[in-house]
Every structure is written in C-alpha cells, then in structure tokens.
Amino acid sequence: MEDLRKLEEFQAKIDAEIKIEPKDWMPEDYKKHLQRQISQHAHSEVIGMQPEGNWISRAPSLRAKVVLLAKIQDEAGHGQYLYSAAETLGKSRDEFIEELQSGKAKYSSIFNYPTLTWADMGAVGWLVDGAAIVNQVSLQRTSYGPYSRAMVRICKEESFHQRQGYEIMATMANGTPEQKAMAQDALNRFWWPSIMMFGPHDSDSPNTGNAVKWKIKRETNDELRQKFIDKTVQQAEVIGLTIPDPDLKWNEDRGHYDFGEMDWDEFWRVVKGNGPCNKQRLNHHKKAHNDGAWVREAAIAYAEKQKEKQLVA
Ligand code: FAQ
C-alpha cells in the first residue's frame, strides 16, 4: 500500500515535469534503468576517445592538431560528468568500470569502427557528434536532475565538436579530387554506423516503454534517427557529398526524408562484441586503466593526508 502510494507520487512528479534528485524516493527499476543508461553513456564518451586519439600525432597542421586535442579532452570531461551523475545512484565508478571491462555493460556501437584516414576525423565530428547532439539535446529534459544538468553542459561543447568535423569535411570536399574522394569514402563508411547509434527500431527496443513513461527518454530511437537524417541530408548537399543511401528521398506528405533499412545483423554483431574493433577498444581501456592505477592511488593518499591535516588543525 505504502509502495503504491509512493509510486503514484513518483509518477505524478514525473508527469508534472519535476526533476527527480538523488535523495528523492524512486522505484528500484527507475534507478537501475538510469544506472545502465548513464554508465553506458559515460563508457561511450571514454571509449569514444580512442578512434580520434589515433589521429592526434598525424593531424595535417598544428591548428588541426590543437583543435582535435581539445575535442578529445572534452570527451574525457563528458565521461567525468556522466560517471559522477551515475554515482549519485549509489553504485561506484569502480563497479561501472568493472561492468565495462567484463563486457557486461555496453558502449555505443559506433566506436567499434576503425578510423582509417584524416577524413574520418571529419566524418566522426560531423556525423557521430551530430547524432550524439540530436540525442543529447533531447536528454537535456530527462527526468533525473544530475543527468539532465550534465547534458546541458555537454551539449554546449558538443556543438563545437560537430562544427569542427563539418569544417574538415567541407575543406576536403572542396579540395583536390583525391581529397574529395577521401571525404566521400569516410561518409560512405560512417553513414550507416552513425544511423545505428540511435539503437533498434522502437518496435524492437525493450527499454523504450519505461524510458518514455518515466521521461528518461523524451523522444524515441526512431524519432531521433529521423531528426538526425532530416538535418544531415542538407548539410551533405551544401558540401557536395552524396549520402550512400539509394532510398533516401524527401517525402512531401510526411515532411521528412524516407530512408533505407539498416543492416541489423551488423548492428547486433557489433553491439554483442564482434565488431571490427571491439576487442582492441576494450584491451586498450584495460591497459590504460592499469597503467593509471598509481595516479588513482596517489590521489587517494593525498586526499587522506589532507583530511588528517584538517583533523589536527
Ligand atoms: N550501441 O532498448 P534499447 C558520444 C543496446 S554519444 C550499443 O533501445 P535504450 C559522444 C541498449 O543499450 C554516444 N548498444 O536501449 C561522442 C540495450 O542493451 P542493454 C552515446 C546499443 O537504452 C562522440 C539494447 O541495445 N550516447 O559518445 C545501441 O532505450 C564522438 C536494446 O536497445 C548515449 O549513450 C548502440 N548504438 O536506447 C564521444 C546516449 N543501441 O543496455 C566521443 C544515451 C542500443 O539493455 C566521440 N543513451 N543498444 O543491455 C541513449 O539514448 C540510449 O541508451 C540508446 C539506446 C538510444 C543508446
């Protein structure tokens, strides 16, 4: 009886657009749903540094290198905000990292594709950050306070990321025929994986029902995917590149672009750990985590010393 009343009060708060804060009562399933989604989002930000990190030492100019470095550092920061938001739900960062490294927790499928040329830095910024923004702008209105506030900050930085990628693509598309071909090739390889970032169709998405009821997700996978496609088609036209989808066509009646079907076998293969770079990404994460153990130990020792000093004073 007590729980039913609490549940009703909780849903009434959600319906009235009142944010849920860490110390508020929340159903166990809501908490678990958020722990899963926010931690997976954090893992994506951190693993997402690897494909771009691959090009720091090979950037074609000092300016390009500085911009790329700043962008990748931002992603580390996004991971920090998101792990902190996830930790407010009573699970430690160590537990989340353990789930990532053991393969229990997912991260975005997109980061399991290799970055083969400099044009891929353009494609990642333009398409991957572009897709991330569409999703994250929507998540700014998510019902959990700490997640929503992290999203507000992240979105401000993400729009710069999208523009830096688009600038690379625009420059290459207007360069020599070889450069234009590289840009087109990067678009060809990154288009479908970017569309897959939005997840399975709503009809195949087990988490969407609760996510919408609890206003964790404000728009569904298919709605966000459509938004991204509608926005991006025109951007490709402006720089003279062709989106690799023969079914892409403006639909006057719907007021949206129609588009082709994704290769769902490929999607689930990558999500389940068998994409081109899954093993490489996780091995690199484990190595970096182990190599950095001494930094975490030193930080804890320092914090303890500071605490002791305060107690003595
Ligand atoms: N990859 O029931 P749904 C970025 C899983 S942005 C891997 O529809 P949900 C910025 C899903 O987890 C990228 N797995 O799930 C950046 C679930 O499995 P589970 C990250 C996927 O949660 C740019 C199962 O399939 N953004 O990193 C994918 O309602 C450049 C069934 O799916 C976010 O995480 C996928 N693409 O919807 C950084 C945004 N799609 O957990 C560096 C927040 C689905 O039950 C460089 N997250 N799955 O075992 C979300 O909006 C949602 O979690 C979705 C999935 C839309 C990703």
Output the domain CATH number for residue 115: 1.20.1260.10
> What span, in angstroms and rounded, lies between the C-alpha atoms of 236 and 161?
17
Name every residue whose Cβ is closer than 8 Å to that of residue 231 and which is 6 or more positions away in sequence: 130, 134
10 Å Cβ neighbour count for 213? 13
Task: Give, for ligand 1, the residue of 207, 226, 262, 285 to mutate: max count of ligand atoms closer than 8 Å to Cβ.
Answer: 207
> Ligand 1 mean position to 130 CA, how many Å?
15
pLDDT score of 266: 98
> Ligand 1 mean position to 139 CA, how many Å?
12
Q: Which residues line ligand 1 (CB under 6 A)?
A: 36-37, 40-41, 44-45, 48, 75, 106, 108-109, 124, 128-129, 132, 135, 196-200, 205-208, 211, 221, 271
> What span, in angstroms and rounded, lies between the C-alpha atoms of 58 and 203?
43
197 within 8 A of 135, measured Cβ to Cβ: yes
Percent of the chain with pLDDT over 70: 99
Print the domain residue range for 65: 1-312
* DSSP, res 61: S
User: Nearest to residue 134, comparing CAs of 208, 199, 207?
Assistant: 199
User: What pLDDT band is residue 1 in, cutting at 50, 70 and 90?
Assistant: low
262 within 8 A of 222, measured Cβ to Cβ: no
Instruction: Look at the chain and report how many structural domains it folds into.
Output: 1
Is residue 79 pLDDT above 80, yes or no? Answer: yes
User: What pLDDT band is residue 159 in, cutting at 50, 70 and 90?
Assistant: confident
The 3-state DSSP class for residue 19 equals coil
Mean pLDDT confidence for 191-212? 97
Q: Does this model's pTM top 0.85?
A: yes
User: What pLDDT band is residue 2 in, cutting at 50, 70 and 90?
Assistant: low
| 71, 159, 113, 260 alpha-carbon torsion, rounded to 10° | -170
